Amino acid sequence: MKELAYFFAALRFFTRLPVPAWVGHSADQLNHAARYFPLVGLIVGALGAAVTVAALYVWPPQIAVLLGMVTTLLATGAFHEDGLADSIDGFGGGWTREAVLRIMKDSRIGSYGAIGIGMVLLIKMAALTELLAVSPAPTFFALLVAGHGVSRFASTTLIFALDYARDDDSSKSKPLATRMGRGELLLAALCGLAPCLLLPPLQLAIALVLVALVTLLAARYFVRRIGGYTGDCLGATQQLTEIAFYLGLLCVFG
């Protein structure tokens, strides 16, 4: 029952999807919720893939992809995209650790963040449109679900490996800022990587290498600039590794 509560806590924290009323709001639940971050990604990815594939029966591929993207944005409340925008603003506009963290905490979006999130969404749309053109519907469904799961697992590894960068308790992501155990990381890996079994091995290998490279570079950059990670850094990593996964698949499909 505890594990189910942890899963629903993750679902409520990372999405706007409904959860049972009996699920509480304890800090302990959120401390253990990160292990199900990738599983939540599978659900979000499945929603987006289902809408995309269904929309293909009515509209052109570009429109179908956009509708699928809108579905995932609605499901998460643009949670990770917001983290990416805040990270771009913070690292782009702050010269010191304190300045970076202060800018990232500001709810307003700056020019760096607006341009960055716009470019990321455009690249994602272009990549998914190309993948849809060269993939049968079942394969596209699997790769979109895998992209969401793998990218969230990549973010989860930062919780396992890095320190939380903020010293205050004002961040809403602070309850997730505890070290994960190896067992929790393994569960996250199983959830996030499971859909990869449905993809061709060669394409998958290149995609995972790119994801690992982007995750490593992001982690090193975060440590160098602010000494660890924040919730916004997790969102940025998720977005960047999701794109890396799709681009990796296109390297071979192309």
The DSSP line for 180-205 is PPHHHHHHHHHHHHGGGGGS-HHHHH
How many residues make up the chain in this entry?
254
Q: How confident is the model at residue 28 (pLDDT cuts 50, 70, 90)?
A: confident
Looking at residues 208-218, what average pLDDT do you find?
A: 98
pTM of the model: 0.94
Q: pLDDT tens digits, residue range 151-168?
A: 999 999 999 999 998 876
Residue 176's nearest CA partner among 55, 45, 29 is: 29
CB 57 within 8 A of CB 76: no
Residue 83's nearest CA partner among 233, 243, 244, 241 is: 233
Residue 158's nearest CA partner among 79, 104, 212 is: 212
Q: How far apart (Å, rounded) are the C-alpha atoms in residues 45 and 34?
A: 17
CB 91 within 8 A of CB 211: no
- Is the predicted pLDDT of residue 254 greater than 80, yes or no? no
Average pLDDT over the chain, rounded to an integer: 91
The packing angle between helices 37-55 and 2-14, to 10°, is 60
The number of beta carbons lying within 10 Å of the beta carbon of residue 200 is: 12
3-class secondary-structure state, position 103:
helix
Most confident of 4-13, 191-200, 244-253: 191-200
Q: Where are the beta strands (DSSP E) in 35-104?
A: none
Residue 166's nearest CA partner among 98, 110, 216 is: 98
